[in-house]
Structure 1
């Protein structure tokens, strides 16, 4: 099974720690974030990984070589010349991800208690274009889903901005969920991406096609998720690992 880890981020909210170190190699309880995610994926049965790199990317390559790729096959999707964002990053890595089965995408800075194999197999059973891990956590930006858990739009509660390709879209008629940074994607995604080039966010892409393709929510009521995007959350991640060791 294949999975991609987004490890190309600049880590601006973790400065100055990330000035000369890629965010993926910032340590949590003595291990880089990247190691935690690789081991979680390996433990769930994913044995072919793709990792994208940008800022100080050679450090990630050297780290993986020193660890013998943790006993799994790892390809590097090199974005050191130009950072392509999440959607562009997936398309750029297509040559590694294409095959006969869906693939999972996991942000390097997301720690969670989600059962990755269950998420993957549930996607395979229903076969939408993509299945997104979501939760009811508080945030400013929400994805909007109908009663069948199908993506229909997006709303920023702070600014009031709404995005949807459905006519006469009323956001109050839909359920709000926060995206969890983990999703399973079917191979057909690359056909839908034909007209998309360069740098683009995957959420914008999902919103542009959700009226024509099924982008499914995977809500977890008991989900525990931590986005390690700040120095404060990095400290919480240390507590997380100790508590769940």
Structure 2
């Protein structure tokens, strides 16, 4: 397994903590978010890992150089310019093994996902991209057809719809109730921040003319001609550590899942 961890973000929602450190090194459960994600990925069988850096990049590189996680970790440097998620994958593409899929994981996501199983499903499927999704209630949803092929995106609070399909763009979606996710013959699912790109999908991202772009915009613009599918996890437990008021939930999640570590370990 090879993976990429998105760790270059500014972490503005975690201010004032991120005034002096990158979001990736904010501590929960006794260790930085980055360490938690690296350890989860190595337990899943990852042997090659890429971490992109921008905000306080030197702190992340110093941390990686002084901690041995038992896995080869390469750094994709975005110090001069933050490239967003799609641009980040494009910049990192030369660091990947071009013959293996890449599992991409946000540094601020804690979950109960079986990453080895998800990667295996993606590798065995015919999909160019496999997105891990759930029934989580939010305002922003991915839109899938009955085959769970990506068809668009919607913000149910504003009514905005993005899709390469005119029929989808004409629809109006409302926020689904818990357990209800089918509207207008479409499935609304929340993205988890975890996805797997096939080697051909990585090459397609690398071929993009722009250097700065969100990966979701790439998926939405290509879903009409690429096989971009969702894998639904109905029992997903996920904490998005994006705001100060989510830190306690993250601490609780790590304690309950048995991943807290001692100072000596970290």
Which residue matches 1:152? 151
- CA displacement at 1:101 relative to structure 2: 1.2
Which residue matches 1:212? 225
| Separation (CA, whole Å) in 2 of partners of 1:227 and 1:168 | 32
Which residue matches 1:55? 55
Q: TM-score, normalised by structure 2?
A: 0.90
- CA displacement at 1:93 relative to structure 2: 0.2
Match of 2:249 among 217, 228, 236: 236
Which residue matches 2:75? 76
- CA displacement at 1:75 relative to structure 2: 0.5
Which residue matches 1:192? 204
- CA displacement at 1:168 relative to structure 2: 2.1
- CA displacement at 1:132 relative to structure 2: 0.4
| Separation (CA, whole Å) in 2 of partners of 1:131 and 1:158 | 26
| Separation (CA, whole Å) in 2 of partners of 1:196 and 1:150 | 25
| Separation (CA, whole Å) in 2 of partners of 1:107 and 1:119 | 15
- CA displacement at 1:159 relative to structure 2: 0.8
What SS does the corresponding residue of 1:165 show, helix, strand or coil?
coil
| Separation (CA, whole Å) in 2 of partners of 1:204 and 1:98 | 24
What SS does the corresponding residue of 2:242 show, helix, strand or coil?
coil
Superposed CA deviations along residues 101-132 of structure 1, whole A, max 9, x for unmatched, are: 11100000000001001101111111211000
Which residue matches 1:183? 195
Answer whether contact 2:152 2:164 (CA < 8 A) is retained.
yes
Task: Name the stretch that deviates more: 137-146 or 161-170.
Answer: 161-170
- CA displacement at 1:30 relative to structure 2: 1.2
- CA displacement at 1:27 relative to structure 2: 0.3
| Separation (CA, whole Å) in 1 of partners of 2:45 and 2:204 | 28
What SS does the corresponding residue of 2:10 show, helix, strand or coil?
coil
| Separation (CA, whole Å) in 2 of partners of 1:36 and 1:195 | 32
Q: TM-score, normalised by structure 1?
A: 0.97
- CA displacement at 1:173 relative to structure 2: 2.8
| Separation (CA, whole Å) in 2 of partners of 1:52 and 1:195 | 19
Answer whether contact 1:127 1:186 (CA < 8 A) is retained.
no
- CA displacement at 1:86 relative to structure 2: 0.5
- CA displacement at 1:100 relative to structure 2: 1.1
Which residue matches 2:40? 40
What SS does the corresponding residue of 1:188 show, helix, strand or coil?
helix
Q: How does 1:67-146 map to 2 (within 5 A)?
A: 67-68=67-68, 70-146=69-145
Task: Name the stretch that deviates more: 167-176 or 51-60.
Answer: 167-176
